[in-house]
Amino acid sequence: MNIGFIGLGAMGKAMVENLLEKGHAVTVWNRSPGPAAELAALGAIVADGVEGALQGDLVLSILAHDQAIRDVLLDALPRARPGLVHVNLATISTAFARELADRHAELGLGYVAAPVFGRPPVARAGGLNVLAAGAPEAVAAATPALEALAGKVWPMGEDPVRANAVKIAGNLMIVSAVEAMGEAAALGAAHGVPAADLLDVLTSTIFASPIYKIYGGMIAEGRYHPPGFAADLALKDVRLAQAAGDEKGLALPLADLVEGGLETLLSGEGETPDLAALAEVSRGRVEGR
């Protein structure tokens, strides 16, 4: 396929490398030119402007947050190829997901919400879990590209908001798992059990799932750089969960707790760490530090 791709952070860059390897023609655009130049060496075409990435069979985008999409894409969409399908891979608010779906419909463009679960190495290997929601014809057009990126594509129906709600809920569970492991590690340490021993047992038995294994290993080793899921993006996603809850009058006490922990974590100086570093704040809270 002739695919446009907008947003070349760690996840986006890994996805494009995978698409190129599988034989797709990919035209890329990014606000900072460095990643695009690296991908050009692998065969990607670099668009002169964002509109250049909107002229293919479909365009995939993975931008950091709602405002980035507003800044980069909304003004450019009227100049997209007629009938283009836009696949939004980013984690965005449910309110903005609804707005984007309406705007694409007004312009006669296809729209698929397809947020993903997985870190950059999983994206590079084509093993992501992709949540796909949108009109059936738009999802069908996007499926070849999504299948190249995914270990599995999970259909979420025709309403794009559904895919974003599932993604936000999933990320809230991931952050809450890190909080739980930090508290558990503090409890074990208080009774003479090293974090590595405790987390090895628990993530190999009753919590033997990828999230617990990945983050448990990072917490046990104190390995928080370079970030795979940066703590500032995790805080953004927790706030998206709070906003989605507010829309429906729901209280989310765990979201409030981890929001405070992430704010504490990010109040320090230096490079933004991985979400796994939240466990250090959790330990400190439990230990009274």
- Dihedral of the CA atoms 31, 32, 35, 39 (nearest 10)? 50
The CA distance from 170 to 166, in Å, is 6
Bridge partners of 133?
A: 113
The CA distance from 70 to 73, in Å, is 6
* CB-CB contact of 26 with 52 (8 Å): no
Sign of CA dihedral 231, 15, 36, 1: negative
CA distances from 279 to 48, 151, 167, 222 (A): 43, 29, 22, 9
Q: 226 — phi, psi (to 5°)?
A: -70, 155
Helices (H), the chain: 10-21, 33-40, 66-69, 94-107, 120-124, 136-149, 160-190, 195-204, 210-221, 231-247, 253-266, 278-287
Sign of CA dihedral 32, 99, 175, 119: negative
* CB-CB contact of 36 with 12 (8 Å): no
Active site residues: 167
